[in-house]
Amino acid sequence: MALYRLGPDPIFPPPHLAEPEGLLAIGGDLSPDRLIAAYRRGIFPWYEDGGPILWWSPDPRFVLFPAELRVSRRLSRTLRSGRFEIRFDTAFAQVVRACAETPRDHEDGTWITPEMQAGYIRLHELGVARCAEAWSDGVLAGGVYGVLSGRSFSGESMFHHQTDASKAALVALVERLAAEGVEMIDCQIKSDHMVRFGAREIPRDEYLMRLEHGLRDAPTPRRAAPAPARAARAEPGRVASHPRGEISRMTRTKMSEHRIGVVMHGVTGRMGMNQHLIRSILAIREQGGVPLADGDRLVPDPLLVGRDAEKVSALARRVGAPRWTTDLDAALADPNDAVFFDAATTQGRPDVLRRAIAAGKHVYCEKPVATDLASALDLVREARSAGVKHGVVQDKLWLPGVRKLKHLRDSGFFGRTLSVRGEFGYWVFEGDLQPAQRPSWNYRAEDGGGIILDMLCHWRYLVDNVFGPIKSVSCLGATHIPERWDEGGKPYPATADDAAYATFELHNGVIVQINSSWTVRVRRDDLLTLQVDGVLGSAVAGLTECRTQSRVNTPRPVWNPDVRNPHDFLADWAVVPDTIPYDNAFKAQWELFLKHAHGEGEFPWDLVEGAKGVQLVELGLQSWRERRWVDVPDLEV
């Protein structure tokens, strides 16, 4: 395994590359951006004064779940006695200095260097670091401090000048954090002291999964700004000793970084900015790139392209992307950028993809790839003729809930699958009382809008890959809201369909029904729910969660409409646990495409699969127009 030397930018290698003792990287600094990036990835600094900064991610991880906090009877009596006055965040710098200066048994000196003290005090000023203090007669008697990352808190150190003072502060802090929604206290390294409070070891993968879930649910107040990648090199030879234990001499292999330039077109919009730029490309950069089979890293270098110079430059400044332009032709002409990505309007997509293909770029794009099948197939032929690699976003295949459904299917849980029922959508405000959540062009057919064009592309790849190939389709569309208000507050006629009610017959006999609507109010587990019923069992999945009911656990309902049914049918379903970490769905597919463009691995979600989605759209519209079932023929390119 390699020990990575950090450059000047706040990026880290993945934690699973750490040495057996947990040592992951060396160097860098203790700037706020670096520290925030580290804690959000389950990494923390730990080193001796005068030595290089060392970064750690041990396995297993020692954590305390607030619900498992144990307080001894003696300590409970002390807490009830009022001996200590507990305060929060009133003397953070004093707590940190006391932690550094208070002598400890079996330790010479301190690992809380002046540089570390300054770093955590700065985090406190940003609202990221917190502390609890135990005061006695106006004197600080004990305290504890740490770093907040979403719904996880990393405890750094504690001290006491009076018996039980640090314990009182710890208990108070755990209770306060739990009340604020924190679900996990990271104690980092096992200690007998924290075992007595209920802390226990869990695998690092589980810790990272819980950390990631908590970050999605409640991000920290400040986000570390991404910056251009620098090469990370292995550090040969001997490293400084662990401040709380010795590290043996290790043999390390060198790692190289490979830059891959990505022209990103249309990322000032909601989907392009949030899912593709920030949560995919910049997140990949923040983690140190995509790992390759030989141990090297592939680091994307984005070039933001947009028509509005003010918007694209503001976005570049906001996320720390150094490269942006309004000149698409110049961007396509630059041979240093190998990949072109498009998330702009559907109507304009075929033209920009053709230009990128002609320039020799590997192309990756949002769906739909076109508004009509003929244009979609032309793109396939042009990409094949040019010899470029190509892919289409099919993000729902990487949703945790959908992956759990596939796992159940592959394990034989359903037996013979009978049917699938899907509900997707929510109420999109008309724009008069509240601003609409989606751009107005989505509701104008002449601008490429319509939920059938938008969502049947999704259902094609989802159904084909999870439940089986589609044989025929019956689809009914509707424009339930005929008038909406645009971004300028002006009314306009909504000419596109805002709801679609589709039924698919599969070649394997399964019947799939999916309702898609921007005019439905949500009373279900998630914005997308899929219920799969089979002879041996059923499952209901949302975006992340999945619940099952097997044949032997199926209740025996009795129809009696005159009497309120006391049975809790929801309680009969069991939760499918998270047995593996789940990454952002868009990011997971981006990593696969980047490796494919670099020459590693296959990528079956190509423009042909994108064309299949457009084919189903055309057939769905035909079914609606002719009010009949329509067969889905094999696609000929």
615/57 Cα distance (integer angstroms): 48
Q: Which long-range contacts (CB under 8 A, 24 or more apart) does 233-239 make?
A: 233/4, 233/5, 234/2, 234/3, 234/4, 234/5, 235/3, 235/4, 235/5, 235/26, 235/27, 239/3, 239/23, 239/26, 239/52, 239/54
> How far is CA 114 from its chain centroid?
35
> Which domains, from first to last, does the chain contain?
1-239 (3.40.630.70), 257-393 (3.40.50.720), 396-557+567-588+604-626 (3.30.360.10)
For residues 149-170, give the mean pLDDT: 94
For residues 576-589, give the mean pLDDT: 91
Q: Which residues are CB-contacts of 155 (< 8 A; sequence separation ≥ 6)?
A: 144, 145, 146, 170, 185, 186, 187, 188
Mind listing the pLDDT tens digit for each residue in 504-531? 999 999 999 999 999 999 999 999 999 9
For residues 435-450, give the mean pLDDT: 93
Work out the pLDDT band at 473, boundaries 50, 70, 90: very high
The pLDDT of residue 237 is above 70: no
The angle subtended at Cα 635 by Cα 587 and Cα 597, nearest 5°, is: 30
The pLDDT of residue 229 is above 50: no
Least confidently predicted of 289-298, 327-336, 341-350, 539-548: 289-298
Q: Which two tokens stand for residue 514?
A: 């999916």
Of 124, 114, 132, the closest CA to residue 148 belongs to 124
22/189 Cα distance (integer angstroms): 10
For residues 567-573, give the mean pLDDT: 92
Of 512, 484, 490, the closest CA to residue 620 belongs to 512
Of 510, 301, 546, the closest CA to residue 415 belongs to 510
User: CA torsion sign, 619 to 481 to 395 to 203?
Assistant: negative
**pLDDT reported for residue 84:** 94
The angle subtended at Cα 95 by Cα 94 and Cα 97, nearest 5°, is: 65
**pLDDT reported for residue 105:** 56
Q: Which residues are CB-contacts of 163 (< 8 A; sequence separation ≥ 6)?
A: none
Work out the pLDDT band at 295, boundaries 50, 70, 90: confident
208/224 Cα distance (integer angstroms): 18
SS (H, E, C) 501-520: EEEEEECCCCEEEEEEECEC
Q: Which two tokens stand for residue 28?
A: 């860098």
Name the E strands within 274-416.
290-291, 297-305, 324-325, 337-342, 362-365, 390-392
The pLDDT of residue 236 is above 60: no
Mean pLDDT for the chain overall: 89
The pLDDT of residue 563 is above 80: yes
Q: What CA–CA distances, in Å, run from 111 to 107, 115, 462?
A: 10, 10, 52
Number of C-beta neighbours around residue 254 at 10 A: 11
| Alpha helices, DSSP H, located in 88-154 | 92-101, 114-125
**pLDDT reported for residue 623:** 98
460/470 Cα distance (integer angstroms): 8
Residue 537 pairs in a beta bridge with 550
**pLDDT reported for residue 9:** 78
Phi, psi (degrees; rounded to nearest 5) at 272: -60, -40
Work out the pLDDT band at 224, boundaries 50, 70, 90: very low
The three-class DSSP label of residue 555 is coil
Mind listing the pLDDT tens digit for each residue in 585-608? 999 999 999 999 999 999 999 999
Q: Is the peptide bond before 13 cis (omega within 30 degrees of 0)?
A: no
**pLDDT reported for residue 256:** 76
| Alpha helices, DSSP H, located in 51-164 | 73-81, 92-101, 114-125
Work out the pLDDT band at 613, boundaries 50, 70, 90: very high
b (16+ CB within 10 A) / e for 12-27: bbbbebbbeebbbbbb
The three-class DSSP label of residue 32 is helix
**pLDDT reported for residue 52:** 87
β-strands 152-160, 184-188 pairing? parallel
200/487 Cα distance (integer angstroms): 52
The three-class DSSP label of residue 75 is helix
Contact criterion met (CB below 8 Å) for 402 and 462: yes
**pLDDT reported for residue 230:** 31
Structure-token match 């898609």, residue found? 516
Name the E strands within 400-482.
417-425, 470-478
